[in-house]
Amino acid sequence: MKITTKLWIGLAVLVVLSPLGLIIPDHFKAGSAWGEWGGDEMQKLIGYVPQGLEKLSSLWNAPMPDYAFKGWEEKGLPQLSLAYVISAILGILFVVLAVILIGRMLVKKGG
């Protein structure tokens, strides 16, 4: 088997395992990463939401916020895990497409 085939299989395994990155922190009741708190968490941490942060934090409306579907914030772990896997697949798809496009632009033919 070609090494690239093996590496793609490795990536597929990571995609399937990716919900662990959701389930394990949830199990230990871990919150957001340091410096990635939302407005509510900030309110709890320092007693107010910095004005600039409040204004800028809603600047961009990502189509799949936090690797989930919009409106799924209250769903259980099984659904969120499914959304996580779908996010991983879509993300990899876009990343690979982008790199191939960039590769086409940059790499000399026959090089």
Partner 1 sequence: MHIPDGYLGPATCGVFYAIMLPIWTAASRIVKKTLQVKQVPILAIGAAFSFVIMMFNVPIPCGTTGHAVGGVLVAILLGPWAACIAITVALVIQALLFGDGGITAIGANCFNMAFVLPFVGYYVYKAIGFNAPADSNRRVLAAGIAGYIGINVAAVFAGTEFGLQPMLHHTAAGQALYCPYGLNVAVPAMAGEHLLVFGWVEAIVTALVVKYLQKQAPDYLQAKEA
Distance in angstroms (rounded) separating the CA atoms of residues 15 and 59 = 29
Query: Degrees (nearest 5) of the Cα angle 92, 105, 90?
Result: 15
Residue 84 and residue 19 in contact, taking contact as beta carbons nearer than 8 Å: yes
Q: How far is the CB of 3 from partner 1 (least distance, A)?
A: 4
17-56 positions binding partner 1, by CB under 8 A? 17-18, 20-22, 24-25, 27-36, 42, 45-46, 48, 50-56
Q: By CB under 8 A, name the binding residues for partner 1.
A: 3-4, 6-8, 11, 14-15, 17-18, 20-22, 24-25, 27-36, 42, 45-46, 48, 50-57, 59-67, 84, 87-88, 90-92, 94-96, 98-100, 102-103, 106-111
